Amino acid sequence: MIKFRYICLTVATAAIVSLSGCNSTPTAENPSAPAANANPQATEAVSQNHSGHGGKAININTAILSQLDKFEAKLGIPALSNKIQANRPYASPEALVTKKVITQEQFDQIKDQVTIQEVVLTGEAKDVDYMTKLGLMKGHLFVAQELLDQNQPKQAEPHIGHPVEEIYVDVEDQLNDRKVKEFKTTLVSLQDLVKSKPKDAKVKADFTSSMQAVDSAIAALPAEQRSKPGFVLQTINGLLDAANSEYGAAIADGKVAAPIEYQDSRGFVLYADELYKGVSSQVAQQNPEAHKAIETSMAELIKVWPSAIPPSKAVKTPNDVTKLVTTIEQNSQKVIDSTTQAQQ
């Protein structure tokens, strides 16, 4: 996937970063308040109109499990994401080796994707990040609902827990900035109820409340922005990048070795597909060839997850899934690029 990154400036410890006037293109947000950087490493202030998912380095001190799963899939080490989180903080990327999280040989395979730099997103990039993380919440809840409907509360539990345990804290500052009503309590209530009384009639009502809370958070973004193909495609690319990593971590020797990761990836793809259907007619008018490629690849992707309960044998290899995701990302970028050029 082709990505264009506009780097405004890099500053050292405790430097004051002023983001106003740095953007290369008009953005939805342009904070004028300076930000103090207490991180001992440099902070990269980034404003971009293209998806930053997939190609950028991953901050091992702050990344959520879905992001760290990229390393787990790459190296084929079960539960590596959890091990990375458990050994935080890291003073340098090389600390993954000194803390014996992975070997030097393994680190050499991923070192170009590892960072401890904090990237400060602004403008549309910040909005895409916000929408993508809420999309991950939706994906988790999608698959949790399927599992509850199939009377599998034990399997549903992790997918109800991930939004509150893993993602909410990562997006909480943005929720506050956008004046979104707190809904962590709602998610925790659902999680506790499913754990203690999965057959309680209140589960359905609490689940509906949780999904509505996420939808309300998404609605904090302007409706016009949420209906623009360029914006939606960037979000889709972020969701599919996470799904690709999760699926890679789930499959071993042609079998689904990690059901939770398989289910995570299913949920992310289902929501990505739903988002694309909302803008597909616009994309078809703007770039029929790109639309056809995206639609065809998305249909093939959906087949990889025949149900929420994993099949005994993987439908496709992780490499096959990567190819489909790459096709979608490349064709999405054509639409994103043409949209950006039209606005200039």
76-105 pLDDT, tens per residue? 888 898 899 899 999 999 999 999 999 999
Claim to verify: residue 100 and residue 127 sit in the same structural domain: no
Residue with tokens 């914006």: 231
Q: Is 129 contained in some domain?
A: yes
Q: How confident is the model at residue 66 (pLDDT cuts 50, 70, 90)?
A: confident
Q: What's the whole-number mean pLDDT along residues 96-117?
A: 93
Per the structure block, which two tokens stand in for 258? 């990690």
CB atoms within 10 A of CB 59: 19
Residues 150 and 274 grouped into a single domain: yes
Query: What region, left, alpha or beta, does residue 4 occupy, with left being phi > 0 and alpha being psi -120 to 50 degrees?
Result: beta
> Is pLDDT above 50 for 184?
yes
Q: Which of 164, 170, 165 is nearest to 132 (CA)?
A: 170
**Statement to judge: residues 94 and 153 lie in one domain:** no
Q: Are strands 6-11 and 16-17 parallel, antiparallel or unpaired?
A: unpaired
Checking if the pLDDT of 165 tops 60, the result is yes
* Cα separations in angstroms, 173 against 27, 67, 126, 168: 19, 19, 12, 9
Which of 69, 96, 114 represents a domain boundary (last residue)?
Answer: 114
As a whole number, mean pLDDT of residues 203-223 equals 97
Rounded Cα distance, 171 and 168, in Å: 5
As for how many domains the chain has, the answer is 2
Predicted local distance difference test score (pLDDT) of residue 24: 36
Distance CA 123, CA 272 (A): 22
pLDDT given for residue 22 in this prediction? 35
Q: Which of 48-52, 139-143, 273-277, 330-334 has the lowest mean pLDDT?
A: 48-52
> Residue 83: inside a domain, yes or no?
yes
Domain with 99, as residue range(s), is: 61-114
Same domain assignment for residues 191 and 267: yes
Q: Tell me the average pLDDT across 334-344.
A: 80
Of residues 50 and 182, more confidence is placed in 182
What is the 8-class DSSP label of residue 163?
Answer: I
Do residues 84 and 127 both lie within one domain?
A: no
What three-state secondary structure class fits 35? Answer: strand
* Share of residues in the chain with pLDDT > 90 (%): 71
The radius of gyration of the chain's CA atoms, rounded to the nearest angstrom, is 20
In this predicted model, which residue has the larger pLDDT, 6 or 213?
213
Enter the tokens of residue 99: 């803390």
Which tens digit of pLDDT belongs to each residue from 138-162?
999 999 999 999 999 999 999 999 9
Percent pLDDT > 70 in the chain is: 83
Asked if residue 90 and residue 132 are part of one domain, the reply reads: no
322 and 187, same structural domain?
yes
Contact 59, 72 (CB under 8 A): no
What amino acid is encoded at 260 in this protein?
Answer: I
Better-predicted residue by pLDDT, 276 or 56: 276
Q: Is residue 56 part of a domain?
A: no
Tell me, yes or no, whether 43 lies in a domain. Answer: no
Mean pLDDT of 42-52: 42
Domain assignment present for residue 4? The answer is no
In a domain, 41, yes or no: no
